[in-house]
Amino acid sequence: MYLCTQNRKWTNMLIGRKMESSELLKLCDSDRSEFVAIYGRRRVGKTYLVNEVLGDRMLFRHSGLSRDDMEGQLEGWRSSLADAGVKDPPVVKSWIEAFDALKPLIRSSRKRKKVIFIDEMPWMDTPRSNFVSALEFFWNGWASARHDILLVVCGSATSWIINKVIRNHGGLHNRVTAQIALEPFSLQECEQYARAQGLGMNRRQLMEGYMVMGGVPYYWSLLERGKSIAQNIDTLFFARNGKLRNEFTELYHSLFKSPEDYIGVITALSKRKSGLTRNDIAEGSHTANNGRLTTILADLEQCGFIRRFSVVGKKSHDAIYQLTDHFTLFYFQFMEGNASEDEQFWSKCIGRPVYNTWAGLAFERLCFSHIEQIKRAIGIAAVSTNVFAWRAAADEVYGPGAQIDMLIDRQDQVVNLCDMKYSAAPYAIDKELADSLQYRRERFIRATKNRKAIHLTMITANGLLRNAYAGEIQCEVTADELFGK
């Protein structure tokens, strides 16, 4: 769900988030008190979702203050009480007192369901504040015993929401009655948004926008009508006062208390498109391979910046971590250390080798963001599957090394060996690629002793050119199919 803008004015057009909206309304209409936790990447629209769906039912709303101390957080809470209609709200010195000050407002309300929305909750959990204990006491000792409260909490620090609220092993254990993971927009939702906003972009331009910004609604809301996607990217990222010029620093500093450690890991991952093992990450980021690294990797994965996937034939501790956040990949390729003052930098990059190399990698990441659409295109939406990667080093017996970035292992005894190619025109498979695909298939079968049928699968931006080698491909997926539901 996200508002569309026309001439930078808000309208009432809503895009996406139907399932999440329905869930919130169902919770609001239930006959018991509900505790819902919403999490997702920064800028993905969590606050907007709650305000739009529950805004007219809201009794109390509060947002934590970025990097303020406990005293400042409590003063902010007092201000929110005043905004909710509490006359002369008391000065509170602890979170127990703060939640107590909320109770009279709830008791006096005639609303059928008292909606309490606490945004950016992780910022409220300052050192030695005992915030989580106070939240536990409020919910367990008072709110949950009623039948008319909907407590909605969220925050961009996804790992905090998951570990301190959803997976809490203390007083909040199993207290959350619903959780909503808010994902970025799909290509289809970005297309709907762009159409409603009057951006006038074709699917190639939409794909380029997605490969730069991913499906982050806030980023898309900044695009201007009358400009091409390239012009918009120049304006947002490379203009002197571009609204997203400093987004990388703001993004990681807003999410993590020690952002340098996280950026170190992200930087190491940015240097290897196929991903790194945990040992490789520790070495590349100069981070000790201990519990701290475990926390960093888990946080980054939960926030949607990296993905962890198994490698066929390898043990779980040999899993591969791969950087998947579209904007972060774009930043490392074109913005980090870029001393250029050219405000048309991006427009001038298009078509150059550096652009073509980036586009190929970014298209692969786009495909990984649309696995369900790929499955539907292949005709296996109802088939149970696992998505793996596979790599093998050079071997005296088997031959040169080989790597497959996407394997769809199906319950119906088929494995789709996927190769992803981005090009402006229909992609022409040449003899070199055809030989490579056949070699990787045979090497995979021999190394893993796989007995399933192997279907060579090409995922392309504009389809395949029908030549002598195209007939060796069993399955084909085009970008148009990635725009499906």
Reply yes or no on whether the pLDDT at 16 is more than 80.
Answer: yes
Residue 343: helix, strand or coil by DSSP? coil
Burial class (CB in 10 A: 0-12, 13-18, 19+), 213: buried
Nearest to 332 by CA among 367, 299, 289, 365: 365
Reply yes or no on whether the pLDDT at 3 is more than 80.
Answer: no
Q: Which two tokens stand for residue 41?
A: 């990447």
How confident is the model over 239-252, as pLDDT tens digits? 999 999 999 999 99
Cα dist from 126 to 129, 176, 240, 431, whole Å: 6, 22, 35, 61
Residue 405: helix, strand or coil by DSSP? strand
What pLDDT is attached to residue 7?
A: 34
What pLDDT is attached to residue 10?
A: 30
How confident is the model over 255-276, as pLDDT tens digits? 888 899 999 999 999 999 888 9
Mean pLDDT of 443-467: 94
How confident is the model over 464-478, as pLDDT tens digits? 999 999 999 999 999
Beta strand residue intervals within 186-235, DSSP E:
none
**CA triple 50-55-59, angle to 5 deg:** 105
How confident is the model over 312-357, as pLDDT tens digits? 766 666 788 999 999 999 999 999 988 888 999 999 999 999 999 9
Task: Give the number of C-alpha atoms closer than 13 A to the C-alpha of residue 196, restricted to the C-beta side.
Answer: 21
First to last CA, the chain: 15
Reply yes or no on whether the pLDDT at 13 is more than 70.
Answer: no
CB-based contacts of 137, cutoff 8 Å, min separation 6 = 96, 99, 171
Facing residues of 37 across strands? 153, 179
Mean pLDDT of 75-86: 97
Nearest to 136 by CA among 172, 180, 82, 179: 172
How confident is the model over 274-299, as pLDDT tens digits? 889 999 999 999 999 999 999 999 99
Residue 63: helix, strand or coil by DSSP? strand
For residues 71 and 55, give the distance between their C-alpha atoms in angstroms, rounded to a whole number: 28
Mean pLDDT of 5-30: 72
What pLDDT is attached to residue 14?
A: 63
Reply yes or no on whether the pLDDT at 25 is more than 50.
Answer: yes
What pLDDT is attached to residue 332?
A: 95
Q: By the 8 A CB rule, do 204 and 460 touch?
A: no
Residue 256: helix, strand or coil by DSSP? coil
What pLDDT is attached to residue 181?
A: 93
Mean pLDDT of the chain: 92
Beta strand residue intervals within 111-168, DSSP E:
114-119, 149-155
Mean pLDDT of 204-215: 97
Residue positions counted in the chain: 485
Mean pLDDT of 144-164: 94
Nearest to 423 by CA among 349, 368, 478: 478
What pLDDT is attached to residue 319?
A: 86
Q: By the 8 A CB rule, do 343 and 231 touch?
A: no
Reply yes or no on whether the pLDDT at 105 is more than 70.
Answer: yes
- % of the chain with per-residue pLDDT over 90: 83
How confident is the model over 388-419, as pLDDT tens digits? 888 888 888 778 899 998 999 999 999 999 99
- Which residue shows structure tokens 């045979």? 442
Cα dist from 444 to 45, 51, 201, 410, 429, whole Å: 42, 50, 41, 16, 21
- % of the chain with per-residue pLDDT over 70: 96
What pLDDT is attached to residue 159?
A: 87
Reply yes or no on whether the pLDDT at 8 is more than 80.
Answer: no
